[in-house]
Copies of this chain bind each other. A is one copy, B any other.
């Protein structure tokens, strides 16, 4: 597979119209690059009629609101809440798609501390309903992004409860997941992987 190394990082983060100078820095900032590229890829999918997949808004608990006369309500006190599901969901070709994006600077593993148990439970529920659920995992230092389906993930995830595991290894993700190709129009072209893996039931080894 031709994977244009180095080209992803360069073409990021300048473009998003949503990154206003007013926006405060957030503790979740680490994952923003991958997230932005997925949002952009989703825009391309939407505009080209290929898929309808959106990022869910961040849940915020509103405590106090002012209602100034003749202008919009101003939220004066609010708190970020932990999302109860995943970041992204939608429909592609009649299939329900549901996934979470994770990015790490580590070279050889993704710590489980990045992943919340309730999200994993949600992903299992989705799969039991016949939906397609997976992680998109980026190793920034390697400039590689993988689609890891919930099934292989869950086997390793469950090992942490015996104290055996605290992370997903790069090797495991590479072997059980699928490298997501970079394309000009969809920087994180995960629909391409869905086509090969879930629809045509593609050979796993081909994707490496």
Residues of A with Cβ closer than 8 Å to B? 22-24, 26-27, 46, 49, 51-52, 54, 56-60, 62-65, 72-81, 83-85, 89-96, 98, 122, 125-126, 128-131
Contacts and interface: CB of A to CB of B under 8 A. Distances in A.
Contact of A72 (B79, B89, B93, B94): B79
Contact of A63 (B22, B52, B93, B94): B22
The A interface, classified by DSSP as helix, strand, loop or mixed, is mixed
Contact of A77 (B54, B76, B90): B76
A125 B46 CA distance: 8
Contacts of A77: 74-76
Contact of A131 (B52, B65, B79, B80): B52
B62 A94 contact: no
Given A74-B79, A91-B126, 6 more contacts: A23-B62, A26-B65, A49-B125, A57-B60, A91-B131, A94-B130
A60 B63 CA distance: 13
Contacts of A51: 129
A73 B27 contact: yes
A129 B92 contact: yes
Contacts of A65: 24, 26
A95 B130 CA distance: 8
